[in-house]
Amino acid sequence: MKRLLSAFVLVTICATAFAQVSVTSANYYRIGNTVRDIYVVANDLTDSVATTSIVNNPFVLDNSLRSLFEAYNMIDTAFYDEPRTEGEFTNASFSYADENGMRMHITVTDEKAFCLGISGALAQMGLNDDMELKFEEPMDVIEFPAVLNSAKSSTAHGSYLKHIREMQSAFNSMDGGAMVYEFVTAEYDSILIDMQVTYNSTFDEAGTLTLSGDFMQQGEYEYLRENRQYAYVTNMYLHRIDGEFLNINECTLTNPFFAAYFGTATINLGEAMNALMGMHFPISSTTTTLNYWTANDNYPILEMSTNANATGVKKLAVRYGENGVCVENQKISANIYPNPTSDFLNIEMEEMGEATIRIYSVNGSLVKEDVLNGSHNSINVNTFSNGNYFYTISCGDKEISGKFAKN
């Protein structure tokens, strides 16, 4: 019974992923770009590290951070794609997928960015369906440009409605699922998920952030800090055949079969879910994130996922895009080949004097650092283990980043 009741709550699990939306500035989005967290250091998510252990004055991130956390890895976090050509979200500027398979549909103007709604890959959770949650009023998520002491608050509401037969395959995949599906559909025909999200954002701090150690984008950055909070409430309703939508806490199922398990032939679905799964509707939660943007172009440098009152850090991510954090006029023009390579990495670049190349493994460790002189250079990678590597080439305030494969 516990597994079958979980079919009802899968869609609400998807809905909670909305709290992970991350929006920066209009010139940050590029269709087809992947945005990665090159350094993700995360402790057990049931615990936190005190913010004061990480944030000092001046703000310096270095290798000592590793000792504060239990895990140290790199993950892909987002992919920006073209907007849909049909359906609910054709007015979006692009869609944005996070690591949980949730896709945010964002519209960007010169003044602000706002979210039209969410679609979710429910197939990953056993449901042969995608959830589409369109907000009745688009939810503003940031105004441009960000200014110290500016604040933004917005509330959005959305719902997800499906006939219960859309969930039949999920029921059938579980032990005894077909039988319970018959019990449910004998009394109810539709399911409605209702969600309200409240967004609050304040740019409450400015300062200087220094990245040192093995970070790919080492250097000093002027930043603005955004204190971002999402509070969301999710509720569930079932539609009784020839009746009305009822809150899950008012829904009952009646069948003699239940007497052997619950001591009564009639059960309350809300109470059963709470007793068996510890899940009580409405589900309320608050997520707080501290985001550090470059002060001039609102590029994301650092993101801290914190506990509800923002005193402890649960996840810390130092971020970079496909082209690094440098703006267009700071890039180095270079041609790096062959890729993949087995022996040497050839580098042809503009004449600019002495430059430095740093090569990192996929876990962020610095594996080689060398000086480049002139326009033609070769780096011996013959002793490298096979696999993927990242590199940065820097000269003064110019930099380029990329990746290559060794085979």
Range of the domain at 355: 330-406
Q: Which of 258, 285, 320 is the last residue of a domain?
A: 320
Closest C-alpha to 324, from 352, 272, 360: 360
Same domain, 266 and 334: no
Residues 265 and 189 in one domain: yes
Residues 116 and 228 in one domain: yes
| Judgement on whether residues 267 and 344 belong to the same structural domain of the protein | no
Question: Per the domain annotation, does 179 fall within a domain?
Answer: yes
Q: Which of 259, 291, 320 corresponds to the end of one domain?
A: 320
Residues 5-20 have pLDDT tens digits of: 333 333 333 333 333 3
List Cβ neighbours of 106 (8 Å cut-off, separation of 6 or more): 23, 29, 92, 93, 94, 95, 96, 113, 114, 115, 116, 141
Token pair in block for residue 4: 């079958």
Tally of domains in the chain: 2
pLDDT tens digits, one per residue of 315-354: 888 775 443 333 333 456 788 899 899 999 999 887 666 7
Contact (Cβ atoms closer than 8 angstroms) between residue 74 and residue 363? yes
Would you call 333 exposed, middle or buried from its count of C-beta atoms within 10 A (0-12, 13-18, 19+)? exposed
How many whole angstroms from its chain centre is CA 196?
19
Q: Tell whether the model's pLDDT for residue 229 goes beyond 60.
A: yes
Residue 325 lies in a domain: no
Same domain as 118, residue 30: yes
Question: Would 274 be classed as within a structural domain?
Answer: yes
Q: Give the Å distances, CA to CA, from 386 to 287, 341, 381.
A: 40, 10, 10
For residue 361, the domain's CATH number is 2.60.40.3080
Q: Give residue-wise pLDDT tens across range 151-182.
A: 989 998 888 888 888 778 777 777 777 887 88
pLDDT digits (tens, 9 = 90+) for 204-217: 999 998 888 766 66
Q: Is there a single domain that holds both residue 202 and residue 334?
A: no
User: 154 with 251, same domain?
Assistant: yes
Task: Say which residue the tokens 């809905």 belong to.
Answer: 15
Select from 320, 352, 380 the last residue of a domain.
320
Q: Are residues 151 and 241 in the same domain?
A: yes
